[in-house]
Amino acid sequence: MKVKILYSYLIFNILKNFFALVGVFSIVIVSSQLLHLPSIIYHASFLDFLKVLILINFSFFKFILLFGIFIASALVGYSLRENREIYAIYSAGISQNQILKPVIFFSAVFSILAFLTSLWIVPSANRERAKFLTFSVRQYFLDAIQEKNFTELSKNTLVYVDSRENGKFKKIFFFNKENKQIITSEEAYFKGLNLHLKNGYIQIPTDKGINLIIFKDDKFAVDIDYLKSYELEDFENSKLVKILREGKENRYKALSILTERFFFPIPFLFIGVLGLLIGLKTIKGKDYVLALIVGISIVYIVLNFYLLKLISKGSLNPVVYAVLLTSYFSALTYYFYRK
């Protein structure tokens, strides 16, 4: 019974600290990233703006998890030591191994969450954020089209609308400055980023004059000077595997990304136990405990970055990467366990 109460106490306090830290980290990350958003996004609706903030938060969720669990466990260990609760636990005949059991289970559960986050959640959030920002900014320009006014959608595209009603445009005129192409239509409406046209013509200049194309229904994508793209790091796993199999130019880069995604849970198998042991075994105060946690995390981030760079150059086997990370965290855990 005493052991069950202790287990509940440990898990409850770790989770309490974890969720508090997640909230703090989320606020800090979102606040810093707001400066990098295109100014037009601030004119979006509240729900759209909230969606952007949520996607930003998910983009950094991997490291929120890492630091959150590590620090939360260390704070619980520090609290047990500082409040002399650890002596009462040992006096009740509960060993160190028994104290660590629920934390080991806790770490295993969060390593699964880390795996899902690394492999699917974060890359998907980054892709969705890029698409959403692109759509929102482009939609802002399209909504800004005014009646009986020339509107410059981009450096190459000029549009004139005689009237607009219920989301439809009447007598619309498009001019592309780059290829001198002119498009006119009796009626048009936007669906997504595509302009759907009815009853019009397209003037295409050639060396011999102008070609005229008459149409009843047509559509084309409107060129807006904004595109939020995502990098290779955010590709779907299937695309990365395809690049790897086909031996394309970026195959080693794709290999390093997949390696990082698959082996990201390795630290989570240790940091719960390691954090608790650091809090319990470190004699100095909370500031020192936190500094030690941050220092260990920074060494991991630097080591991780360097090893992935070697993999991306074809100089390191992913298995060696996994062995080195496992050795780093297992050595630290063993040291504080035996301390």
- One DSSP character per residue, 192-226 reads TTEEEEEEEEEEEEETTEEEEEEEEEEEEEPP-S-
Strand partners, 200: 185, 215
pLDDT tens-digit series, residues 2-42: 688 889 999 999 999 999 999 999 888 888 877 766 655 65
Mean pLDDT check: name the lowest of 13-17, 136-140, 210-214: 136-140
Higher pLDDT among residues 115 and 148, named by residue: 115
Does 159 score more than 70 pLDDT?
A: yes
Which pLDDT does position 194 carry in this prediction?
A: 72
How far is 250 from 242, CA to CA, in rounded Å? 11
DSSP assignment, residue 45? -
What's the rounded Cα separation, in Å, for the pair 144 and 163?
13
Residue 114 vs residue 39, higher pLDDT: 114
Give the pLDDT of residue 222: 63
**Which whole number is the average pLDDT over 221-227?**
56
pLDDT at 111 over 60: yes
DSSP label of 147: B
Determine the Cα–Cα distance for residues 117 and 51; give it in Å rounded to an integer.
Answer: 18
* CA 191 to mean position of chain CA atoms: 28
- Does 224 score more than 60 pLDDT? no
Output the pLDDT for position 226: 47
Give the mean pLDDT of the chain.
85
User: 134 and 226 in contact (C-beta within 8 Å)?
Assistant: yes
**Distance between CA atoms of 99 and 54, rounded to whole angstroms?**
36
d(CA 25, CA 6) in angstroms, rounded, equals 28
Calculate what percentage of the chain has a pLDDT beyond 90: 42
Query: Higher confidence at residue 133 or residue 206?
Result: 206
Binned at pLDDT 50, 70 and 90, residue 138 comes out as low
